[in-house]
Amino acid sequence: MSEGHRGRYLWTDGFAVVNFITLFKETSEERYLQLARRLIHTVHDILGRTRDGQARLPGATDEFPLKGGLRIGKHHATGPDGDGQYHHYLTIWMFALNRMSLASKDMWYNSQAISLAKAIHPHFMINRDSSRPRMFWKLSMDLQTPLVTSEGNLDPIDGYVILNLLQETSGGTELTREINDYKKILDTKWKHYRSNDPLDLGMTLWTAHWFTGKEEWATALTESAFECLCITHNSSLN
Protein backbone atom coordinates (compact mmCIF):
# COMPACT_ATOMS: atom_id res chain seq x y z
CA MET A 1 0.00 0.00 0.00
CA SER A 2 2.95 2.34 -0.61
CA GLU A 3 2.05 5.87 -1.70
CA GLY A 4 3.98 8.88 -2.89
CA HIS A 5 6.43 9.49 -5.72
CA ARG A 6 8.06 6.24 -6.83
CA GLY A 7 6.21 4.47 -4.02
CA ARG A 8 7.75 6.40 -1.13
CA TYR A 9 6.24 9.03 1.18
CA LEU A 10 8.45 10.24 4.03
CA TRP A 11 5.77 10.74 6.71
CA THR A 12 4.25 7.26 6.46
CA ASP A 13 7.63 5.62 5.89
CA GLY A 14 8.90 7.16 9.13
CA PHE A 15 6.07 5.62 11.11
CA ALA A 16 6.51 2.34 9.22
CA VAL A 17 10.12 2.09 10.42
CA VAL A 18 8.96 2.63 14.00
CA ASN A 19 6.25 -0.03 13.53
CA PHE A 20 8.81 -2.58 12.32
CA ILE A 21 11.04 -1.78 15.31
CA THR A 22 8.07 -2.20 17.66
CA LEU A 23 7.28 -5.60 16.13
CA PHE A 24 10.90 -6.61 16.61
CA LYS A 25 10.83 -5.51 20.26
CA GLU A 26 7.55 -7.36 20.89
CA THR A 27 8.45 -10.62 19.10
CA SER A 28 12.29 -10.68 19.08
CA GLU A 29 12.01 -11.78 15.42
CA GLU A 30 15.03 -10.47 13.52
CA ARG A 31 13.08 -10.25 10.26
CA TYR A 32 11.27 -7.14 11.48
CA LEU A 33 14.56 -5.38 12.14
CA GLN A 34 15.70 -6.40 8.68
CA LEU A 35 12.51 -4.93 7.18
CA ALA A 36 13.17 -1.66 9.03
CA ARG A 37 16.75 -1.65 7.76
CA ARG A 38 15.65 -2.31 4.18
CA LEU A 39 13.01 0.44 4.28
CA ILE A 40 15.48 2.98 5.66
CA HIS A 41 17.98 2.39 2.88
CA THR A 42 15.21 2.42 0.25
CA VAL A 43 13.97 5.80 1.48
CA HIS A 44 17.50 7.20 1.43
CA ASP A 45 18.00 5.91 -2.10
CA ILE A 46 14.72 7.35 -3.45
CA LEU A 47 13.77 10.41 -1.40
CA GLY A 48 17.42 11.34 -0.87
CA ARG A 49 17.81 11.73 -4.62
CA THR A 50 16.40 14.02 -7.30
CA ARG A 51 13.04 12.95 -8.70
CA ASP A 52 14.66 11.34 -11.75
CA GLY A 53 16.89 9.29 -9.46
CA GLN A 54 20.02 10.36 -11.29
CA ALA A 55 21.79 12.23 -8.48
CA ARG A 56 21.75 12.68 -4.73
CA LEU A 57 20.24 15.89 -3.44
CA PRO A 58 22.75 18.78 -3.29
CA GLY A 59 25.22 18.35 -0.43
CA ALA A 60 24.64 14.60 0.03
CA THR A 61 27.25 11.90 -0.55
CA ASP A 62 27.33 8.12 -0.53
CA GLU A 63 28.81 8.26 2.99
CA PHE A 64 26.33 10.86 4.22
CA PRO A 65 23.18 10.39 2.11
CA LEU A 66 21.09 12.78 4.22
CA LYS A 67 23.22 15.91 3.97
CA GLY A 68 20.86 17.17 1.28
CA GLY A 69 17.74 16.39 3.30
CA LEU A 70 14.92 14.13 2.09
CA ARG A 71 12.10 14.90 -0.30
CA ILE A 72 8.51 14.61 0.93
CA GLY A 73 7.57 12.28 -1.89
CA LYS A 74 4.60 14.25 -3.25
CA HIS A 75 3.31 12.99 -6.60
CA HIS A 76 3.68 16.37 -8.35
CA ALA A 77 7.02 18.11 -8.72
CA THR A 78 5.57 21.64 -8.52
CA GLY A 79 2.37 23.40 -7.58
CA PRO A 80 0.71 24.27 -4.27
CA ASP A 81 0.96 20.68 -3.05
CA GLY A 82 4.12 19.74 -4.93
CA ASP A 83 7.28 18.00 -3.76
CA GLY A 84 9.75 19.67 -1.45
CA GLN A 85 10.93 19.27 2.14
CA TYR A 86 8.88 19.59 5.35
CA HIS A 87 10.64 20.13 8.66
CA HIS A 88 8.15 18.00 10.62
CA TYR A 89 8.56 15.06 8.19
CA LEU A 90 12.33 15.28 8.57
CA THR A 91 12.20 15.25 12.38
CA ILE A 92 9.95 12.17 12.30
CA TRP A 93 12.58 10.49 10.13
CA MET A 94 15.32 11.51 12.57
CA PHE A 95 13.30 9.92 15.38
CA ALA A 96 12.90 6.70 13.39
CA LEU A 97 16.66 6.55 12.79
CA ASN A 98 17.31 7.19 16.47
CA ARG A 99 15.03 4.33 17.50
CA MET A 100 16.74 2.10 14.91
CA SER A 101 20.12 2.78 16.50
CA LEU A 102 18.79 1.84 19.92
CA ALA A 103 17.09 -1.32 18.64
CA SER A 104 19.94 -2.52 16.41
CA LYS A 105 22.78 -1.16 18.59
CA ASP A 106 24.23 0.35 15.41
CA MET A 107 25.07 4.02 15.90
CA TRP A 108 25.30 4.59 12.14
CA TYR A 109 21.60 5.42 12.05
CA ASN A 110 21.78 8.00 14.83
CA SER A 111 24.87 9.54 13.20
CA GLN A 112 22.96 9.88 9.92
CA ALA A 113 20.08 11.54 11.77
CA ILE A 114 22.54 14.04 13.27
CA SER A 115 23.97 14.79 9.82
CA LEU A 116 20.40 15.39 8.59
CA ALA A 117 19.63 17.71 11.51
CA LYS A 118 22.74 19.80 10.92
CA ALA A 119 22.21 19.91 7.15
CA ILE A 120 18.63 21.21 7.17
CA HIS A 121 18.80 23.55 10.15
CA PRO A 122 20.42 26.61 8.51
CA HIS A 123 17.88 26.45 5.67
CA PHE A 124 14.69 26.15 7.72
CA MET A 125 15.87 28.62 10.39
CA ILE A 126 16.41 32.34 9.77
CA ASN A 127 17.73 35.10 12.05
CA ARG A 128 19.49 32.49 14.15
CA ASP A 129 21.48 35.08 16.10
CA SER A 130 18.41 37.06 17.15
CA SER A 131 16.53 36.58 20.41
CA ARG A 132 13.64 35.06 18.47
CA PRO A 133 14.62 33.19 15.28
CA ARG A 134 11.97 32.25 12.68
CA MET A 135 11.33 29.07 10.73
CA PHE A 136 9.91 28.20 7.33
CA TRP A 137 7.22 25.54 6.99
CA LYS A 138 8.26 24.14 3.60
CA LEU A 139 11.35 24.42 1.40
CA SER A 140 12.13 23.42 -2.16
CA MET A 141 13.66 20.02 -2.88
CA ASP A 142 17.17 21.52 -2.93
CA LEU A 143 16.52 23.45 0.34
CA GLN A 144 17.26 26.75 -1.38
CA THR A 145 13.82 28.35 -1.72
CA PRO A 146 11.06 28.77 0.88
CA LEU A 147 7.77 27.45 -0.53
CA VAL A 148 5.68 28.22 2.58
CA THR A 149 7.12 31.06 4.64
CA SER A 150 4.85 30.70 7.69
CA GLU A 151 6.08 28.90 10.81
CA GLY A 152 4.68 25.49 11.70
CA ASN A 153 2.89 25.21 15.03
CA LEU A 154 5.07 22.34 16.23
CA ASP A 155 8.25 22.60 14.15
CA PRO A 156 10.42 24.26 16.85
CA ILE A 157 9.06 21.88 19.49
CA ASP A 158 9.79 18.87 17.26
CA GLY A 159 13.27 20.18 16.60
CA TYR A 160 14.06 20.77 20.26
CA VAL A 161 12.82 17.37 21.44
CA ILE A 162 14.14 15.19 18.64
CA LEU A 163 17.59 16.81 18.53
CA ASN A 164 17.87 16.36 22.28
CA LEU A 165 17.14 12.64 21.82
CA LEU A 166 19.77 12.39 19.08
CA GLN A 167 22.40 14.14 21.18
CA GLU A 168 21.58 12.06 24.26
CA THR A 169 22.09 8.88 22.23
CA SER A 170 25.38 10.11 20.76
CA GLY A 171 26.71 11.26 24.14
CA GLY A 172 28.19 14.33 22.45
CA THR A 173 27.47 18.05 22.13
CA GLU A 174 27.35 18.37 18.35
CA LEU A 175 23.76 19.68 18.24
CA THR A 176 23.94 22.17 21.11
CA ARG A 177 23.76 25.26 18.85
CA GLU A 178 20.77 23.91 16.94
CA ILE A 179 18.97 22.88 20.15
CA ASN A 180 19.47 26.36 21.58
CA ASP A 181 18.00 27.92 18.42
CA TYR A 182 14.85 25.84 18.78
CA LYS A 183 14.63 26.62 22.49
CA LYS A 184 14.62 30.36 21.81
CA ILE A 185 11.51 29.95 19.67
CA LEU A 186 9.94 27.45 22.03
CA ASP A 187 10.29 29.80 25.00
CA THR A 188 8.10 32.40 23.26
CA LYS A 189 5.67 29.98 21.60
CA TRP A 190 4.38 27.43 24.09
CA LYS A 191 2.45 29.88 26.27
CA HIS A 192 0.18 30.79 23.36
CA TYR A 193 -0.50 27.27 22.11
CA ARG A 194 -4.07 26.57 21.00
CA SER A 195 -5.39 24.10 18.41
CA ASN A 196 -8.57 22.36 17.31
CA ASP A 197 -6.79 19.92 14.98
CA PRO A 198 -6.78 16.36 16.41
CA LEU A 199 -3.57 15.46 14.54
CA ASP A 200 -1.82 18.57 15.81
CA LEU A 201 -3.03 17.89 19.36
CA GLY A 202 -1.99 14.25 19.26
CA MET A 203 1.47 15.07 17.98
CA THR A 204 1.80 17.81 20.62
CA LEU A 205 1.01 15.33 23.41
CA TRP A 206 3.45 12.78 21.99
CA THR A 207 6.26 15.28 21.48
CA ALA A 208 5.83 17.01 24.84
CA HIS A 209 5.71 13.75 26.82
CA TRP A 210 9.49 13.35 26.51
CA PHE A 211 9.94 16.38 28.77
CA THR A 212 6.67 16.45 30.75
CA GLY A 213 7.49 16.76 34.43
CA LYS A 214 11.05 17.76 33.58
CA GLU A 215 10.67 21.16 31.89
CA GLU A 216 7.95 23.74 32.48
CA TRP A 217 7.03 24.22 28.83
CA ALA A 218 6.30 20.51 28.31
CA THR A 219 4.13 20.13 31.40
CA ALA A 220 2.13 23.26 30.57
CA LEU A 221 1.84 22.35 26.89
CA THR A 222 0.49 18.92 27.78
CA GLU A 223 -2.19 20.52 29.95
CA SER A 224 -3.12 22.97 27.17
CA ALA A 225 -3.33 20.21 24.57
CA PHE A 226 -5.59 18.10 26.79
CA GLU A 227 -7.83 21.11 27.37
CA CYS A 228 -8.05 21.81 23.63
CA LEU A 229 -8.71 18.14 22.93
CA CYS A 230 -11.63 18.08 25.36
CA ILE A 231 -13.11 21.24 23.81
CA THR A 232 -12.70 19.79 20.30
CA HIS A 233 -14.31 16.50 21.36
CA ASN A 234 -17.27 18.18 23.05
CA SER A 235 -17.81 20.44 20.02
CA SER A 236 -17.92 17.41 17.72
CA LEU A 237 -20.59 15.79 19.94
CA ASN A 238 -22.72 18.91 19.70
Residues 162, 212 within the same domain: no
Residues 229, 147 within the same domain: no
- Alpha-carbon torsion 58, 112, 126, 51, what sign? positive
Cα(125)–Cα(121) distance, integer angstroms: 6
Q: What are phi and psi of 78, to 5 degrees?
A: -135, 180
Comparing CA positions, the residue from 154, 143, 157 lying closest to residue 50 is: 143
Mean of pLDDT values over 74-84: 94
Mean of pLDDT values over 79-108: 97
What's the number of domains the chain is made of? 2
Residues 172, 183 within the same domain: yes
Domain ranges, residue 217: 193-238
The set of residues, in sequence order, having a beta carbon less than 8 Å from that of 105 and lying 6+ positions away, is none
Cα(119)–Cα(232) distance, integer angstroms: 37
Residues 22, 131 within the same domain: yes
Residues 141, 226 within the same domain: no
Residues 161, 199 within the same domain: no
Report yes or no: 73 and 4 within 8 Å, Cβ to Cβ: yes
Residues 145, 87 within the same domain: yes
Mean of pLDDT values over 192-211: 92
Cα(112)–Cα(109) distance, integer angstroms: 5
- Quote the pLDDT of residue 134: 96
- Quote the pLDDT of residue 84: 98
Residues 117, 148 within the same domain: yes
pLDDT at 1 over 60: no
Q: What tens digit of pLDDT does each residue of 20-63 get?
A: 999 999 999 999 999 999 999 999 999 999 999 999 999 999 99
Which CATH number covers residue 78?
Answer: 1.50.10.10
